Amino acid sequence: MRGSAAVLALTAALVAAGPASEAPAATCGALLKLPPAAAAGEFTMYGHIKSLTRKGRRFELRFDPALWLTGATATRAKLEDTGSGDVANDYYVLEQGHRLLTFLVPATAHVTVLVHGTCTTSITVAQLAKSPPSDGFWLRVRIDTVRSLDQQYRP
């Protein structure tokens, strides 16, 4: 899978470092339900991490939003974009504009990444900042602050 090589390398490095790093075990089985549910006053969005940089005690995320479309919406959008309505795996990612948005990310935000196929593991924001995967993420945001980042599986 694209982008997971960096996460695999990061996970391997954590395991090799020994118990001091406390690398979490991967969880396999049922996929996370994405996008994550948003509480009142929060919203979710899909897109790609372009940079994640430490700024004092928190991080600054530069994020390229996209639309994750399924069903008839995906079919029609792909048809209009490419001339073919054939939507593999019943999803189509609509990329428009590539305008980067800036969000604040506390060091304590929850991060879930894919390790092997659909297996997931939790890592810290600092670990993600070292080598963010190119695959898309779902953000759960309150105002301008990211509460969680969850990597989307793409077959």
pLDDT at 155: 82
* Domains in the chain: boundaries: 4-151
pLDDT at 59: 98
Q: Would you write out the chain's pLDDT as a tens digit for each of its 155 residues?
A: 344 444 444 444 443 343 334 456 777 766 667 787 899 999 999 999 999 999 999 999 999 999 999 999 999 999 999 999 999 999 999 998 889 999 999 999 999 999 888 889 999 999 999 999 889 999 999 999 999 999 999 88
Identify residue 133 by its one-letter amino acid code.
P
Cβ partners under 8 Å of residue 68, min gap 6: 35, 46, 91, 93, 136, 152
pLDDT at 66: 97
